[in-house]
Each structure stands twice: as C-alpha cells, then as structure tokens.
Amino acid sequence: MKRWRWMFCAIALLVAVTGVTEKHLSEDVRAISKVSTTHKVVALTIDDGPHSRVTPEILAVLKEKKVRATFFVLGENVEHFPKILAQEVADGHEIGIHTYSHPSLKGLSPQKISEEFDKAEDVILPIAPKPTLFRPPGGLYNSQVLEAAHQRGYAVILWSIDPRDWSCPPKEKVVDEVFKEIKPGSIILLHDGQYPLPTPKALGTIIDGLRERGYDFVTVSELLQYNEVRHSFNFFSSLF
C-alpha cells in the first residue's frame, strides 16, 4: 500500500512541477507546439514551399551553416518545383506535409480533408521519404483534422515562435522576435512560399545568434526525442 501511495505522490509531483495535466499526458491525438526540455535545442521549420527563388536561397544558408531544418511543403508547389524538394531531401532536411492547396481544414468535410492528404502524398512520396509530420495550414485544426492526421500516422506540429516573416517585416524584426521568444524546445516558424521575404537574410543571423547563446539545431523529429515530460511520465508508468 505504501508503494502505491509513493507512486501516486511522485506522479502528482511531476504533474505539479511541469504544469502538464493528466489529460495531456494520456492523449495520443494532440498538436505539439514545443517540447519540454532543459536541453538547449530548437527546431527551424519552413512552411509553404518549395518556391523557385526563396527556397534555394534558404537552402544555401542552411548548407553554409550546416543546419538541418524541417520543411512543411505544399503538394501543389511540389508539382511545380519537384527538383527543389529533391534538393531538400539530398541536403538531409526533414520533410513534413502541409496539405496540397493550403485550405482552412476546419471548414472542410472529412472527404475533402482526406483528398488534401491524398493529393499531397501523391506528389511528395515519389521524391521524399514518407513524412511523419503534418502541419495544418494557419495552425487551424479541430478534432476531425487531428484524427485524420493520426489515422495516417502523422504527428501534428504547430510552433511556439512566429516572427510573421510572411508579412515581410524588416529582417531585423524577424531576428529580434526569435531572439526574444527563444527557449529550450522551441519550434520556430518561418516561410518560403512567396517572394519577396526577409527570411533568407534573417536566417543566417538567427542561426549565428542562437549558437552564440548555446543553442543547437535539430529537426522536429529529433526535437521530439528531447521531451523530458513525456519520458518522465513513461518512467513512472513503467513502475506500475
């Protein structure tokens, strides 16, 4: 009896310290915006490409800095620029799915949601490994969208830092916003689906500045392995 009481107290303490509720700990179908970790690791994510001009500029910066990112690509853009997706894969970047045509999925029927996945996969899979990550356009989703992604084997990935580079602010504003909000386990949202964008010029400064602050860059899939809250919960669960 004492053993069970100790287990209950330990889990209660874990939840209290981390601020994670039992509901969140037990959910398999959920959206992830950051990872709870004390390690200074962050993930760069790039949405909406590939783009004929912006994406190659971003790839050149990432290659120079020896950083791998996670690209959430649109199927219709892959159709136009398949060689750029192939270059992302060749450079070792992670590929996630961002639907085919960037609709607001919350307003679609289950059939239309499924069609967005199908059409995107049809053009991505001949070029890239089967993605395991999905980002809903605009970060908008409901339980229907989460379930559709889960059934296809996707983890739903959002973000914790959004410098709104898509609105074309000055490069310095993008950089400052990232530096202001950065924390261990952050997922940084950037874009490459339009021209012009400040993103290619801001990216090198972001990478250099975060490295000076002691941060390392990983892909989203790698970042998920640093989730200390989930790992701690699994440890306590194994004791029962």
Q: pLDDT tens digits, residue range 146-158?
A: 999 999 999 999 9
Token pair 């070029």 is found at: 127
Average pLDDT over residues 64-70: 98
- How far apart are alpha carbons 151 and 118 in whole angstroms? 13
DSSP character string of 112-152: HHHHHHHHHHHHHTTTSPPP-EE--GGG---HHHHHHHHHT
DSSP character string of 188-229: EEEE-SSSS-SHHHHHHHHHHHHHHTT-EEE-HHHHHTT-HH
Confirm whether 47 is a catalytic residue. yes
Confirm whether 162 is a catalytic residue. no
**What's the pLDDT score for residue 12?**
39
Q: At the topology level of CATH, where does 32-226 sit?
A: TIM Barrel (3.20.20)
**What's the pLDDT score for residue 29?**
76
In 3D, which of 24, 35, 76, 54 has the Cα closest to residue 158? 35
Average pLDDT over residues 149-168: 98
Catalytic site residue from 93, 98, 102, 191: 191
What torsion, rounded to 10 degrees, do the Cα atoms 73, 139, 187, 11 define? -130
Residue 235, classed as helix, strand or coil, is helix
- How far apart are alpha carbons 155 and 39 in whole angstroms? 22
Q: What is the mean pLDDT of the chain?
A: 88
Catalytic site residue from 47, 48, 165, 192: 47
Residue 208's pLDDT band (boundaries 50, 70, 90)?
A: very high
